Structure 1
Amino acid sequence: MMETVAFAEVSTPVGPFVLAVTEAGLVTTGWGGRRDLGIPEVHDPDRTAFAVSELKAYFAGELRTFQTPIDWRLSSGSRRRVLQALHEVPYGTVVTYGELARLSGTSVPARGIGSIMAGNPLGIVVPCHRVVAGNGLGGFSGGVGVETKRWLLTHEGYLQPTLLDLF
Structure 2
Amino acid sequence: MTTSWTIYESPLGPLTVIAGASGMSRIRFPGSDERLDEAGRRPAAFAVATEQLDEYFAGDRQAFELDLDLSAGTAFQRKVWVQLRVIPYGTTVSYGDLARAIGRPDRLRAVAATVGRTPVPIVIPCHRVIGADGSLTGYGGGLHRKQALLELEARGAAGQAPEPAWAFRQLTLS
Question: Same fold by TM (over 0.5)?
Answer: yes
Q: Tell me which stretches of 4 or more aligned residues in structure 1 moved more than 6 Å.
A: 158-161
Closer/same/farther in 2, CA of residues 15 and 40 from structure 1, 3 Å limit: closer
Post-superposition Cα deviations, 1:61-102, rounded to whole Å, max 9, x if no partner, equal 111110011111121221110111111212111111011112
Query: Which structure carries more helix by proportion?
Result: 2
Q: Measure, in 1, the Cα distance between the counterparts of 2:105 and 2:45.
A: 37
Post-superposition Cα deviations, 1:42-67, rounded to whole Å, max 9, x if no partner, equal 23333211111111211121111100
Residue pair 1:10, 1:56 contacting (<8 A) in 2 also: no
Closer/same/farther in 2, CA of residues 67 and 17 from structure 1, 3 Å limit: same
Q: What corresponds to 1:149 in structure 2? A: 146
Give the counterpart letter for 2:142 in structure 1. Answer: G
Alignment of 1:15-164 (within 5 A): 15-32=13-30, 33=32, 35=34, 42-106=40-104, 109-142=107-140, 144-157=141-154
3-state SS in 2 of match to 1:157: helix
Post-superposition Cα deviations, 1:12-36, rounded to whole Å, max 9, x if no partner, equal 2221111111221111112034746
Q: Measure, in 2, the Cα distance between the counterparts of 1:36 and 1:118.
A: 21
Q: Measure, in 1, the Cα distance between the counterparts of 2:16 and 2:132.
A: 30
Q: Measure, in 2, the Cα distance between the counterparts of 1:34 and 1:14.
A: 17
- Normalising by structure 1, we get a TM-score of 0.82
Residue pair 1:4, 1:41 contacting (<8 A) in 2 also: no
Residue pair 1:129, 1:153 contacting (<8 A) in 2 also: yes
How many percent of aligned residue pairs carry the same amino acid? Answer: 29
3-state SS in 1 of match to 2:22: coil
- Normalising by structure 2, we get a TM-score of 0.79
Give unpaired runs (5+ residues) of structure 1: none
Give unpaired runs (5+ residues) of structure 2: 164-169
Residue pair 2:7, 2:43 contacting (<8 A) in 1 also: no
Q: Measure, in 2, the Cα distance between the counterparts of 1:35 and 1:59.
A: 25
1:6 to 4, 18, 23: 4
